């Protein structure tokens, strides 16, 4: 189904858009702060029009949207696709939306859900990045993936199917501790550059600790006994949190490569943490989203 694609990654706090050529190549990219929390009620079509109207003049264009735009608070709820699932299961569950300003077809890609120890877990947007990364890695059929962020996601792929995933509130915990906790009192208000030694010390510490509830307190005591410079404390805390994620995921060097998906600013610390534990890591950038959405288009029935 070769055609021009308008690919939209519509998240909570931002909207990213790309015009993709028939071969999936990015022709142009745009960004907006109109994440779903910044879209007035009922104004999703309007925001899309403002952002990409010129791309959507051609009625043969296909517009595919992933991310929180498919949540209950978004444009149109796209029910979660349950794990385990292959890429084609997402394609089969596209939710179509209609607008006045364009005759181009517009679909929302659903997120995914899974059940673990009797409780649900969810993601929206990351599933497209993961399948996109598989494609970018030469149609890989298996692997372990981590997508850092406010709520980072770990996912496992086998035989081309997303078997299960886990959300960690790592980025949000960091912000809470950095901003509001007793630990913030001994840290400089401005974020100093990453201290890689303190960071990897935090990763190692988390690996021998039983819980971030106790290891986080070492951030205070190391300051109290002047055994760590104040400028290094936030890097150490970051290491404790990301190290806790790796401990909980029981990442083992014997399990092979971990693929970290995201912009370099987000993935750097995860790559550092993995390498410090002897676990090979590679990165796939934000282009994973565009490849994922382009692949959705390739897998759609010709009638679409």
Where on the chain is the footprint of a second copy (CB under 8 A)?
72, 117-122, 151, 166-170, 172-173, 176-177, 179-182, 205, 208-214, 216-218, 221-222, 224-225, 227, 241, 244-245, 247-250
Under a CB-based contact definition with an 8 Å cutoff, are residues 61 and 6 in contact? yes
Closer CB to a second copy, 241 or 281, in the complex: 241
104 within 8 A of 60, measured Cβ to Cβ: yes
**Cβ distance to a second copy smaller for residue 16 or 153:** 153
CB 39 to a second copy: min, Å: 17
Closest CB to a second copy among 247 and 269?
A: 247
Q: Which is nearer to a second copy, 117 or 139 (CB)?
A: 117
Find the angle CA(14)-CA(59)-CA(92) to the nearest 5 degrees: 65
**What is the smallest separation between the CB atom of 256 and a second copy, expressed in angstroms?**
20
Nearby residues of 28 by Cβ (< 8 Å), 6 or more positions away: 18, 19, 55
Identify which of residues 170 and 267 has a Cβ nearer to a second copy in the complex: 170
| Smallest gap from residue 280 Cβ to a second copy (A) | 22
86 vs 248, which CB is nearer to a second copy? Answer: 248
Q: How far is the CB of 295 from a second copy (least distance, A)?
A: 27
- In the complex, the smallest distance separating the C-beta of residue 109 from a second copy, rounded to whole angstroms, is 19
CB of 172 to a second copy, least distance (A): 6
CA distances (Å), 268 to each of 35, 150, 242, 284, in order?
Answer: 24, 15, 11, 11
Rounded to 5 degrees, what angle do the CA atoms 219, 271, 145 make?
Answer: 110
Whichever of 132 and 239 has its CB closer to a second copy, that residue is 239
Q: Specify the residue, 105 or 124, whose C-beta has the smaller distance to a second copy.
A: 124
Tell the smallest beta-carbon distance from residue 204 to a second copy (Å): 9
Min. distance of Cβ 215 from a second copy in angstroms? Answer: 8
């Amino acid at each position: 189904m070769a055609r021009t694609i308008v690919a939209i990654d519509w998240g909570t706090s931002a909207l990213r858009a790309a015009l993709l050529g028939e071969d999936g190549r990015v022709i142009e990219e745009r960004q907006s702060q109109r994440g779903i929390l910044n879209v007035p009620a009922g104004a999703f079509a309007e925001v899309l029009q403002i952002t990409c109207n010129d791309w959507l003049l051609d009625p043969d264009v296909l517009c595919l949207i992933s991310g929180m735009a498919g949540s209950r608070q978004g444009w149109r709820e796209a029910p979660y696709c349950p794990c385990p699932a292959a890429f084609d299961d997402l394609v089969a569950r596209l939710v179509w939306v209609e607008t006045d300003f364009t005759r181009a077809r517009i679909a929302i890609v659903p997120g995914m859900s899974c059940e673990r120890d009797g409780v649900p877990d969810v993601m929206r947007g990351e599933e497209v990045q993961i399948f996109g990364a598989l494609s970018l890695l030469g149609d890989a059929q298996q692997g372990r993936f981590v997508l850092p962020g406010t709520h980072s996601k770990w996912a496992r792929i086998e035989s081309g199917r997303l078997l299960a995933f886990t959300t960690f509130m790592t980025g949000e915990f960091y912000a809470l501790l950095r901003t509001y906790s007793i630990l913030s009192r001994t840290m400089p208000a401005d974020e100093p550059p990453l201290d890689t030694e303190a960071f990897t010390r935090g990763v190692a510490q988390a690996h021998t600790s039983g819980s971030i509830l106790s290891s986080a307190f070492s951030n205070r005591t190391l300051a109290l006994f002047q055994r760590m410079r104040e400028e290094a404390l936030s890097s150490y805390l970051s290491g404790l949190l990301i190290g806790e994620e790796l401990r909980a995921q029981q990442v083992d060097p014997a399990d092979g490569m971990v693929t970290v998906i995201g912009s370099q600013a987000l993935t750097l610390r995860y790559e550092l943490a993995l390498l410090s534990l002897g676990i090979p890591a590679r990165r796939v950038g934000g282009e994973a989203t565009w490849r994922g959405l382009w692949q959705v288009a390739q897998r759609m029935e010709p009638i679409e």
